Amino acid sequence: MRLFLLPISTRRTLLYSQKLQTLPSEKQTYLDKATIKAATLWAGWEKKESGWQKKVVEYGNYALRRIPYEEWGLKSVPPLSTRRREEEILGKEKHHLIYPQSVIPTTKATGVLRTLGTERESLHKSRLIWCFVGMPISAPFALIPIIPNLPFFYLVYRAWSHWRALAGGRHIKWLAENDFLTLAPSKVLDTIYTPLLLPDSPGQMVTDAKSESAPSINEGPLEGDEKMLLTQDHGRELVRALEIPELEVELERAIWQVEDAISQKKKQKEEEENSKADDSASTTSDSSNSDSDKK
């Protein structure tokens, strides 16, 4: 398994796990087979030109795109089964942590990975519980003829998604705690990220990969506002350089979400500053009127 740390902005990093081999059908679990069957069914609905299946896919894809990219990243990490645990202890399965050293210092790479694997654990636990609470409530919708019980199936999917994210996070924690990761700074990634960190690029963060005190993505506060590192064009370039086609949709989703989050934060900050300016102007006006009345 190859674990990638791909910084999206100066504060956020995408985690992606690439499986080096696919298990044969006889070794797949029932959950794996059910997941593959559901993906095949969804792909079939996407090919339909019209009908309720096409509408479900359109709304479903919109909802899926809004699921946090951090959750998708954790889901890409396979659960830690008993067989996989034994293979990792015996050294039969190797794991490589790949990252751009120009952005993430080697001394902090494992820490960044551990943070990504554990920072959302409580969130996924609480959301998983709420999904289980909502399932019995949505079950009566099955009485509606023709159309399947979409609210129930959505909650089932979200429950599975949160469970997979939790399982992926526990697997990462296990690998980090037992030192089963081989650090592999990527020159390919550095060729893409280094030009984005040039000092003459306004507003971009510059990190010294050789310094242990250098600021690190996802670890501790950084000075200044959050800035984007990757654009959609950079994401496609990165996918071509790594030769991982399936990574494109993950990067596209992550970049879109981070851009939107930064935009919303900037808009909120501007509104707060305008509100403070209006309050200050109002206070000054009231003070002037008071002085005028005294005269």
Largest alpha-carbon pair distance within the chain?
A: 93
Please, are residues 182 and 189 in contact by the beta-carbon 8 Å criterion?
no
pLDDT at 197: 79
Mean pLDDT, to the nearest integer, of 153-166?
Answer: 92
pLDDT at 206: 37
Mean pLDDT, to the nearest integer, of 210-222?
Answer: 41
pLDDT tens track for 168-195: 999 999 999 988 999 999 999 999 999 8
In the chain, domain spans: 2-274
Task: Look up the pTM and report it.
Answer: 0.77
Q: What percent of the chain has pLDDT over 90?
A: 43
The rounded distance, in Å, linking the Cα atoms of 129 and 65 is 22
Kindly give the interhelix angle for 52-65 and 30-46, rounded to the nearest 10 degrees.
Answer: 120
The rounded distance, in Å, linking the Cα atoms of 257 and 47 is 26
The rounded distance, in Å, linking the Cα atoms of 275 and 1 is 51
The rounded distance, in Å, linking the Cα atoms of 229 and 213 is 21
Can you tell me which residue has the tokens 């190797």? 94
Tell me the pairing of strands 13-18 and 2-7: antiparallel
pLDDT tens track for 126-149: 999 999 999 888 877 655 665 677
pLDDT tens track for 235-288: 999 999 999 988 998 999 999 999 999 999 888 888 888 887 766 766 666 566
112 compared with 46, residue with greater pLDDT:
112
Mean pLDDT, to the nearest integer, of 105-120?
Answer: 93
